Each structure stands twice: as C-alpha cells, then as structure tokens.
Amino acid sequence: MNDKLQKYVKLAVNVGVNIQKGQKLLIRCPVDCAYFARMAMEEAYKAGAQDVQIQWGDEISARVNYLLAPDSNFGIEVEWEKARVRHMVDEGYNMLVVYASDPEILKGVDIERIQKNQKVAAQTAKPLRDKVASSAIQWCLISVPTAAWAKKVFPSAKSDDEAMTLMWDAIYAATRVDDDTDAVQNWQTHIDIMQNKAAALMAHNFKHLRFKNSLGTDLEMALPEGHIWVACGEEAATGHNFVANIPTEEVFTAPLRTGTNGIVYATKPYVYMGDVIEGFWFKFKDGKVVDHGAKKGGQLLQKMLTTHPNADYLGEVALVPHSSPISQSGILWYNTLYDENASCHLALGNAYPYTVKGAVGKTEDELNAMGVNQSLSHEDFMMGSADMSIIGVTHDGKEVAVFKQGEWAI
C-alpha cells in the first residue's frame, strides 16, 4: 500500500474528523473514490468508531438522469432521503465528505433541471447542514483525484494514469503529507500558526475592512459586533477539535449582512452546477449584490444569486496569503476546496453562526437580524491577488495594515 495514501487517510480520519471511540461517522464519497472511503471506514473503526456509514455519489449517472429523464422527475422531494438525513442528525453522526468532481460534468445540461434539483437537495440536507454550520458535529471536507478532474487540471498529461499521479503528488504537497515526516504532527504545527493569526485579528476587534487591488477590487466590509475570527482546529459541541477543510490556509469570519459596499473582481474561475464561470464581478450596496457580470457563464452566475433566498448577500470573508503552498503551486484546481486556499475569498450565502458571539442556537430570523446571513447556499469565490491590500479599521478609527502585497502584515 502507498505509505502517503495511508498517511492521507489517517489525516482525514484522525485530524480532520478526529473520530473518537463510540462516535458514529457518515462518509459521503463518489463511487470513483470508493477505495478511499473503504480505507477511511477501516481507519475510523480502528479509532473506535461505533458505526460507519457510506453514502455513494455518481456524477456520471446524474448527468444521464439530467439529460434523459422526463421533466416530471425534477424538483421532487424524496421522503426516504429526508428520513436518512433526519436519522443521521438524530443519531449524532459526524461527517467526512470526499469532494472530487469533473468540473464540467454537467456542461450542456438544462440549467433549469439542475436548479430544481438543487433547491430540493438543499432543503432536504438542511438539518445536517445546520449541524455543520453550528459546529455541532465534527466534520471534514477532503479531496481525492478522479481521472476526469485530473485531466482537467493537467491537460498535457499523456494518459489518465499520468494525470492521476501528478494530481496525487500535488495533493500530498498541498496537505503536508510526505515520506519523511509525520503528517499529523505537521498539521498540529500548522494549526498553531493559523490560530495565532486568528488571535491577532481578534485582538483588534475591527469595525470594518477595506480591500483593494489592481484588478479593480475596491470594497468596504463592516463586521458584526462580536465577530469571531476562526482558523483550523475548531472545537465542536461534542467537545472534540476537528479540521473542517484539508487543506486549509484561511482565517475567516462572517461579514455584517448589510455592511458591504463597493466592487469585487474574482481572480479564479468558479465551478457551479457542473460548469465553469470565468471573469466575473459583483457590485454590492448595503450588503446586497446590485450588479454583476461574467466573461463566461453569466447565466450560471445569475442562477447562483437567485436559486436560494439571501444568496445575494455575503456569509463569509476569508483571508489567505498569496504565499500559501497552494497558491505557490501555480495550479488552477477547478475545485473550490483547493482554489479557495490559494486566495483570499468571499462566500455568498450562508454564514456560520459560530463566527459570531451569541449566534449559535438562534433562529434564522434572529440570525439575519443580528447581521448573520442565512441561506441554503454557500458559494465561495476567490478574489485575492499578489497585490491585495487589506486595511482594518478599529471602532476608534485606527487603521491597521492586515495585508500588504498579498501577505500578512499583522
């Protein structure tokens, strides 16, 4: 067995989810990555898990369904799916999600069909999503190469095998997995560094942030009272720490729902509904997107803003230095988990309640009133650059350099 692969599995189970004796685990995984899910299941049981369930996904059969099924099949609630989600929530399952997709798997599919199904899927998954958003459970998002994804990232590869090898090498480098060191210890060191950055931001208690770069981004963003800067190594309501994303290079919080004004330009393409949006921008007024455009995928961009209520307000601001290992790899991943950790980014849609003091346990209406945006969507897009400047302004008007030339200055 590949030693690095085994280290990667251990990292996902023992650091990412940090499964404990007697706990339950749900693994969501594409069928193309079945070997990884089985290895993770074995590792979880070795760690003392009481039960491990695997939920398989198959994007190829999903494409066939979108192309050939009758219209009446779309937008229908499935009761057994709702019952499964409710069971997972009631039984306190923690979650490991393997995010690996062909970025253009749904290219050419009727967008209306996709939108109908996504609306229903988001509503069905809401009870579990709420557990994730409030850190009620331990959870981790991780990626495993698939041939279609690898070929998109490495189009010059001469074969699927070569593309897969290149992809695995890139993933191991990005996740601090190598032959000579303990990946778990590497991550403990990384967690300490990231949490120190979060503590430095918390010490200033900024009222708002200003973002500028040469692409034209000129954005002012208010932060809610009691906002909390979060880095990897969060604590769940279970009392155990977990790492939500592997890899992760971000320190993040929630913007004030109605407090963003100005314009922001995306610096990387975005994969949405199985296709790619490129060269896009948003203009904000009082937190809401009031104008937008894209060089490619404009119709998809419109759907991203309108499929769910409040998807046109921000729910997250995340700071990532341009010198992050993922950025320095020079790879365009076509995968949000990786691309967002190469760049400062914002998320349209849902905010995580645990990023604002006193927000966990509030109703959706109460959260929105607190300025903590609530939506069934959460779409991260990249806006960081090598010349990004971020100024933090304190409640007494003091200006503090947070980023200079794309790097931490705090």
Rg (CA), the chain: 20
The residue among 4, 12, 6 whose CA lies nearest residue 245 is: 12
Residue 402 has pLDDT above 80, yes or no: yes
Q: What is the DSSP letter of 254?
A: P
DSSP letters for 140-174: EEE----HHHHHHH-TT-SSHHHHHHHHHHHHHHH
Q: What is the mean pLDDT of the chain?
A: 96
Q: Looking up tokens 């066939």, which residue turns up?
A: 64
Q: Is the overall model pTM greater than 0.85, yes or no? A: yes
Residue 1 has pLDDT above 60, yes or no: no
Residue 272 has pLDDT above 80, yes or no: yes
Q: How far apart are CA 332 and CA 326, in angstroms?
A: 9
Q: How far apart are CA 251 and CA 340, in angstroms?
A: 11
Residues 6+ apart with CB under 8 A from 205: 394, 395
The residue among 167, 156, 150 whose CA lies nearest residue 103 is: 150
- Mean local confidence (pLDDT), 145-161: 96
Alpha helices in 104-223 (DSSP H): 111-133, 147-153, 160-174, 183-204
According to the model, what pLDDT value does residue 391 have? 98
The residue among 26, 49, 27 whose CA lies nearest residue 36 is: 27
According to the model, what pLDDT value does residue 351 have? 97
Residue 2 has pLDDT above 90, yes or no: no
Q: How far apart are CA 49 and CA 5, in angstroms?
A: 21
According to the model, what pLDDT value does residue 312 have? 98
Hey, what domains does the chain have and what are their CATH numbers? 3-174 (3.40.1830.10), 201-235+248-408 (no CATH)
Alpha carbons within 13 angstroms on the beta-carbon side of residue 406 total: 15
Q: How far apart are CA 85 and CA 93, in angstroms?
A: 10
- Percent of the chain clearing pLDDT 90 (strictly above): 95
pLDDT band at residue 374 under the 50/70/90 scheme: very high
- What is the per-residue pLDDT across 3-21, written as a single tens digit (0 to 9) for each? 999 999 999 999 999 999 9
- Mean local confidence (pLDDT), 90-106: 96
- What is the per-residue pLDDT across 241-260, written as a single tens digit (0 to 9) for each? 999 999 999 999 999 999 99
- What is the per-residue pLDDT across 314-337, written as a single tens digit (0 to 9) for each? 999 999 999 998 998 999 999 999
Residues 6+ apart with CB under 8 A from 378: 315, 316, 347, 348, 349, 350
According to the model, what pLDDT value does residue 181 have? 86
